[in-house]
């Protein structure tokens, strides 16, 4: 009797279990139809920030480091000072050269002015000689007419001709004097132009020396927090050597790597829900900002080459930039590199 009762109860439990399973599958199907199919999510998401790598612009020994590890700085704050004695001396030499060339150019400008005055005087003398030559030629012509009429002698005619020829020679002399004066003017102008070019080069060199001196003080390019500080006072900093990193933690954003099969319904401006692994249970809000122009694999050091005989199809992931809404909940600090989970409701309109 006991065995028969157990078999009877067993036959009664099986239909209940089967019914429960059917109800569960129906419930899951209804949930997926009305809710689940409208959501896209990924846990392949990480916080990022546009970190600024601080490097030395000019080489030299480090005189002082004005910041410590994990210190918050503002744009323009001094970070590192390099010994500047050599750069100050270079600037003084460049400024002295500018002053010397400026004076030299002033002297040459005076020469140009003097040569220009000589040209003007020679031109005035030429005009006077040409007027005298015209008068002498007219006198010689009148003397010729008077000679034919019997009112002048041959001696007077010869005298007037000699005066006309002398006046013509004087005109030629004045023209030669103008050519010589203009040649001197051109030479002086060319010399003054060369001095001007040399002065411009010296001014540019002085400006470069001034910039080098200013670059001995390395300043923060943006607001952020100092990290990865490797510079120490007394060490030699080479040009371009990384000294530290400034992380703009207040402008951190999220990069979510969605599968290529998920991005068709995502749109810029669409709101998303975010949960950081470091702060479980605390929900953050954000909005899709933009999509990467290529899949993540295309930006790898060695991009995959699929045109091979052993091709294996792999679902690609597309990086999606997400801006996190501010203000943040109390106690939440955004640190680049933290992992997160992102969920997007495709029914939400962009900008909603």
Which CATH number do you get for residue 152? 1.10.287
Residues 95 and 127 both lie in one domain: yes
Q: Beta-carbon neighbour count of residue 236 at 10 Å?
A: 12
Q: What is the CATH number of the domain that holds 240?
A: 2.40.50.100
The share of the chain scoring above pLDDT 90, in percent, equals 42
- 0.85 surpassed by pTM: no
Cα–Cα separations (whole angstroms), residue 295 to 149, 171, 191, 263: 113, 87, 63, 12
Asked whether residue 263 is domain-assigned, the answer is no
Give the residue carrying structure tokens 């010589």: 180
Distance CA 143, CA 157 (A): 5
Distance CA 26, CA 20 (A): 10
Residues 90 and 166 both lie in one domain: yes
Among candidate residues 202, 226, 244, the one where a domain is terminated: 244
Among candidate residues 166, 196, 214, the one where a domain is terminated: 214
Residues 59 and 120 both lie in one domain: no
Give the residue carrying structure tokens 């003017």: 185
Residues 104 and 206 both lie in one domain: yes
Tell which residue, 169, 176, 185, has the closest CA to residue 122. 176
Give mean pLDDT, residues 162-181. 74
Residues 92 and 206 both lie in one domain: yes
Give mean pLDDT, residues 107-134. 68
Helix or strand holding residue 187 (H, E): helix 154-214
Distance CA 217, CA 122 (A): 60
Asked whether residue 170 is domain-assigned, the answer is yes
Residues 67 and 136 both lie in one domain: no
Would the pLDDT of 8 be above 60? Answer: no
Would the pLDDT of 3 be above 80? Answer: no
232 — pLDDT class (breaks 50, 70, 90): very high
Give mean pLDDT, residues 150-154. 66
Residues 189 and 222 both lie in one domain: no
pLDDT reported for residue 70: 93
Percentage helix, strand, coil for the chain under 3-state DSSP, each rounded to 5: 50, 20, 30
DSSP label at residue 256: E
- Strands of 60-65's sheet in order across: 217-219, 78-82, 60-65, 236-237
Asked whether residue 262 is domain-assigned, the answer is no
Asked whether residue 272 is domain-assigned, the answer is no
Asked whether residue 75 is domain-assigned, the answer is yes
Give mean pLDDT, residues 234-244. 93
* Average pLDDT score, the chain: 81
66, burial (CB in 10 Å: exposed 0-12, middle 13-18, buried 19+): middle
Residues 231 and 146 both lie in one domain: no
Asked whether residue 339 is domain-assigned, the answer is no
State which residues form the domain around 180: 85-214
Q: What total number of domains does the chain contain?
A: 2
Residues 78 and 221 both lie in one domain: yes
Residues 63 and 156 both lie in one domain: no
As separate numbers, helices (DSSP H) first and strands (DSSP E) second, the chain gives 3, 14
Asked whether residue 135 is domain-assigned, the answer is yes
Residues 74 and 221 both lie in one domain: yes
Asked whether residue 167 is domain-assigned, the answer is yes
Give the residue carrying structure tokens 């920030």: 49
Residues 122 and 169 both lie in one domain: yes
Distance CA 99, CA 104 (A): 9
């Amino acid at each position: 009797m006991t065995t028969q009762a157990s078999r009877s109860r067993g036959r009664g439990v099986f239909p209940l279990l089967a019914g429960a399973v059917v109800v569960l599958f129906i419930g899951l199907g209804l949930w997926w139809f009305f809710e689940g199919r409208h959501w896209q999510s990924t846990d392949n998401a990480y916080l990022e920030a546009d970190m600024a790598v601080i490097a030395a612009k000019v080489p030299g020994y480090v005189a002082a480091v004005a910041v410590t590890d994990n210190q918050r700085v503002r744009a323009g704050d001094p970070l590192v000072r390099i010994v500047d004695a050599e750069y100050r001396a270079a600037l003084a030499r460049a400024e002295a050269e500018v002053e010397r060339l400026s004076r030299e150019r002033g002297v040459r400008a005076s020469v140009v002015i003097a040569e220009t005055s000589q040209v003007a005087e020679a031109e005035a003398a030429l005009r006077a000689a040409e007027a005298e030559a015209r008068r002498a030629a007219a006198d010689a012509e009148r003397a010729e007419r008077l000679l034919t009429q019997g009112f002048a002698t041959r001696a007077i005619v010869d005298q007037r001709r000699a005066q006309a020829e002398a006046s013509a020679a004087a005109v030629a002399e004045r023209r030669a004097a103008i050519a010589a004066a203009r040649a001197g003017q051109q030479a002086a102008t060319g010399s003054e132009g060369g001095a001007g070019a040399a002065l411009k080069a010296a001014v540019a060199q002085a400006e470069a020396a001034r910039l080098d001196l200013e670059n001995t003080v390395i300043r923060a390019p943006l607001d952020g927090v100092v990290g990865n500080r490797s510079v120490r006072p007394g060490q030699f900093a080479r040009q371009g050597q990384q000294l530290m990193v400034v992380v703009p933690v207040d402008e951190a954003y999220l990069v979510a790597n969605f599968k290529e099969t998920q991005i068709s319904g995502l749109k810029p401006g669409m709101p998303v829900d975010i949960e950081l692994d470091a702060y479980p249970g605390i929900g953050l809000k954000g909005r899709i900002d933009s999509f990467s122009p290529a899949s993540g694999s295309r930006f790898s050091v060695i991009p995959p080459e699929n045109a091979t005989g052993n091709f294996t199809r792999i679902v690609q992931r597309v990086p999606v930039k997400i801006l996190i809404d501010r203000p943040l909940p109390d106690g939440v600090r955004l640190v680049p590199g933290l992992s997160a989970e992102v969920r997007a409701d495709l029914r939400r309109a962009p900008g909603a």
